[in-house]
Structure 1
Amino acid sequence: MTTELYKVSARILLLPTLLVALGVMVKGYADPGDGFSAGVIAALAFALQLMVFGPGELDRLPLIRYVPYAVFLGLIISLLTAFVPSVMGQTLFTHWPPAGDSAPRFGTLEFITAVAFDVGVFLIVFGFGVGVLSSFARAEGRMRTSEERVARARAAEGEAGNTT
């Protein structure tokens, strides 16, 4: 049962939850786990939308159409971050820029390999979380409609048996 309060609350909480995920992503990009945490928070924002509005409404959100591509893009970014240094004769996960060099900046955010890797992890976790939840919701919806069809067929058979 979804009330109007749930619907309004879910709509109001979507953008702030995504902003919190972005804040977690930017907050400590050199600390381990920030891309994962931000991906989980963003996936939970869409899980709330899924629970309140259902899979049909979730598919209308612009970001959801590109979830399979997000997982693929995140995997490519993470793998490139890990393996490009080995192609250049360095060890895996070599940090760029090297210690002592300055990194390109955008405000307070420094563009270093940890940021790229965290973005890749974020895309993988977000895409996988939303993809799995929406797949479960669709499967549950298909199961519910097939159960309703069976119940209607049994009711129709019962009515046909009563009329003869």
Structure 2
Amino acid sequence: MTILTESVARLLLAPSLMVAAAILVKGYADVGDGFSAAVIVSLAVALQYLALGSARAEEELPLLRHAPRVAIAGILIALASGFFPLLFGRAIFSHEPGPGESVVHIGRLELITPVAFDVGVFLLVAGALISLIHHLAQPPEETEEEDG
């Protein structure tokens, strides 16, 4: 690739991650949108693979090799946030804390169970898509045919 392509890809990585974080925290409504944020991150990673090549992208972004573990952690977090209320005899995906209860805040973000679910969806989708991108970017292995 050209120097211009590599430079643009590098310059777009950080803003893409910031936009994804903003969408994760505040999606279409008050709760975030983990799926869209994960797609944005995956597209930024795909751009790195296209601009830098497979070997260089993985060298410069060493966290990419942990994508399958991230996907597994994401599905566990999403399932836990959905089914955790069953332990207390409540309906699946019941929001915690309930109406009128005190909510923990980080800045303007309220830490409620839908936020945990969105983070789980984000990790699941990002991990799965980055794993797919990684496998698609690898050159095909040459198989030796044995004469029998």
Deviation, 1:92, is 0.4
Question: Which structure 1 residue ranges, 4+ long, deviate > 2 Å from structure 2?
Answer: 28-33
Query: Residue deviations 1:104-154, cap 9 Å, x none?
Result: 00101110001000000000111111110110111xx125xx49xxxxxxx
Length, aligned pairs only: 143
Q: Does 1:102 align with 2:102?
A: yes
CA contact (8 A) 2:72 2:124 kept: yes
Query: Residue deviations 1:22-59, cap 9 Å, x none?
Result: 01111238657710000000110001001111221222
In structure 1, what is the equivalent of residue 24 of structure 2? 25
CA contact (8 A) 2:32 2:115 kept: no
Q: Partners in 1 of 2:37 and 2:27 — Cα distance?
A: 11
Q: Gaps (5+ residues) in structure 1? A: 148-164
Largest Rg, 1 or 2:
1
Q: Partners in 1 of 2:48 and 2:87 — Cα distance?
A: 43
In structure 2, what is the equivalent of residue 36 of structure 1? 35
Name the amino acid aligned to 2:114: A
Q: Gaps (5+ residues) in structure 2? A: 144-148
In structure 2, what is the equivalent of residue 127 of structure 1? 127
Q: Does 1:86 align with 2:86?
A: yes
Q: Partners in 2 of 1:127 and 1:28 — Cα distance?
A: 20
In structure 2, what is the equivalent of residue 72 of structure 1? 72
In structure 1, what is the equivalent of residue 140 of structure 2? 142
